[in-house]
Structure 1
Amino acid sequence: MSEAHAPLPFPRTDLALAATRFAREIEHPAIYHHSLRTYHYGRALGERRGLLPDQDYDDELLFLGCVLHDTGLSDHGDGDQRFDLDGADLAVRFLRAHGLGDDRAEVVWDAVALHLSPEIAGRKRPEIALVTAGAGFDLGIEGPGPLPPGYTDRVHAELPRLHAAAVLHDTIVGQALAKPHKAPPFSLPGELLRRHTGGTWPAWDRFTGWGDHDGHAPDAAPAPATGPVDRRG
């Protein structure tokens, strides 16, 4: 890990250092810095909730989820799924190759795969929830309150923003333009692609292939359900 990051707390395990090198090698510098800031903000937001590292959650797992959460936006991680899923799969391949057990690797997979779903991630264990919280805070999404005075200035001094939000947007859209299936309708990548291209989403009835809308009267009373009848009692 670069000595430039020394003033900020990081796990110093061999695996954490290897994951940091891996992310730095494959990611745009702005995305790499965003990933590291995600850890610091996630950890700080956890402390506001009374969650202490290595007491209430595994700090190494939180760090691994944060530093690897956008690896799907690298050329190395650009597969055929949404970038969050590509990143989750890449993270697990990397961690297993470095000896991490399946149970711990699964926590990181969930943290990466769910980081675009705050309503779900927020109900999961801290190692998962705080990745989403930290990433959202770093992108300016409203968090649970301000952090200690001067903390964000300190983080930004060590890890400059480098136009992070703009780089993330352009990378997500660039992947989606090349592979539109990576941006399905109503997903975050899909919405960014729609806005970029000026496209529109198909109506709900275009998603159902059974003819359920044919002859349907929206104000009609629902038909009674059919099926097995429980005649007990």
Structure 2
Amino acid sequence: MNDTFHELPIPRTELALAALRFARGIEDRAIFNHSMRSYLYARFLGEREGLRPGRDYDDELLFLGCVLHDAGLSDQGNGEQSFDLDGADLAAAFLTEHGLAPEKAEIVWDAIALHLYPGIAGRKRPEIALVTAGSGFDLGPVGPHTLPAGYADRVHAVLPRLHAAAVLKDTIVGQALDKPHKAPPFTMPGELLRQKTQVTWPTWEQLMAQSPSWRDYDGYRSNT
């Protein structure tokens, strides 16, 4: 492994390092750095909640979920679903091929597939909840916890931001411009696409009218 990361407190298992190399090989550097920072912040947030690796959660699974959580934003991961699901599928396939037990690969799949939905992920097991918490914290620290003085500077010295938020948005939108079905209305990718194109979303009634056989609005008068 590149000595650039030798001081980072990451798992050094064969699978963790293979996943690191895989993510670094397919992702834009800004996105890869974001994924690595997500793990460091996930660990930090877990500690602040009294969670300890090896006791309360599987640290290797947390790292795998973090380092691969945006694999769907790579050319290799750019399939026909929203990027979170594409990434979850690619990650699970990679990990299974490298010998991870199916039940553990499913935990990583859930962590990646749910990382855009903090209200759901936050109610799941720590390996899932902390992927969402760490990745969100890297893009905009919120909540009761603040980093120790100088901590972010030390992280950024090894994993520079490289305009992470801007690169993430442009990559999500770029995929969606090419394949609009990857960004359905009212999802996060869909909203970023709407902001870019200024398209008008259909109303609820218009969406329901796409299934005219049910005719739920025929003769209906709303009380609200």
Counterparts of 1:142 and 1:215 in 2: how far apart (Å)? 47
Which ranges of structure 2 fall in alignment gaps of 5 or more residues?
Answer: none
Counterparts of 2:27 and 2:143 in 1: how far apart (Å)? 26
Residue 141 of structure 1: how far off its partner (Å) = 4.8
Of 24-33 and 145-154, more deviation after overlay is shown by 145-154
Counterparts of 1:54 and 1:63 in 2: how far apart (Å)? 13
TM-score relative to the length of structure 1: 0.92
Counterparts of 2:2 and 2:215 in 1: how far apart (Å)? 59
- Match of 2:109, SS state, is helix
Aligned to 2:188: 188
Alignment of 1:57-206 (within 5 A): 57-206=57-206
Runs of 4+ in structure 1 deviating by more than 2 angstroms, as ranges, are none
Aligned 8 A contact 1:72 1:87 in 2: yes
- Match of 2:9, SS state, is coil
- Aligned CA RMSD, in angstroms, stands at 1.1
Residue 149 of structure 1: how far off its partner (Å) = 2.0
Of 93-102 and 146-155, more deviation after overlay is shown by 146-155
Counterparts of 1:11 and 1:145 in 2: how far apart (Å)? 24
Counterparts of 1:144 and 1:61 in 2: how far apart (Å)? 25
Residue 2 of structure 1: how far off its partner (Å) = 1.9
Of 173-182 and 144-153, more deviation after overlay is shown by 144-153
Residue 158 of structure 1: how far off its partner (Å) = 1.1
Aligned 8 A contact 1:123 1:129 in 2: yes
Aligned to 2:7: 7
Aligned 8 A contact 1:133 1:143 in 2: no
Aligned to 2:38: 38
Aligned 8 A contact 1:4 1:158 in 2: yes
Aligned 8 A contact 1:45 1:144 in 2: no
Question: Deviations 1:16-62 (Å, cap 9, x if unpaired)?
Answer: 00000000000000000000000000010000000011111000000
Counterparts of 2:222 and 2:38 in 1: how far apart (Å)? 46
CA distance 1:150–1:141, shift in 2 (3 Å):
closer
Residue 105 of structure 1: how far off its partner (Å) = 0.3
- Match of 1:207, SS state, is helix
Residue 157 of structure 1: how far off its partner (Å) = 1.2
State the percentage of identical aligned residues: 69
Counterparts of 1:144 and 1:200 in 2: how far apart (Å)? 36
Alignment of 1:47-66 (within 5 A): 47-66=47-66
Larger radius of gyration: 1
**Number of equivalences:** 220
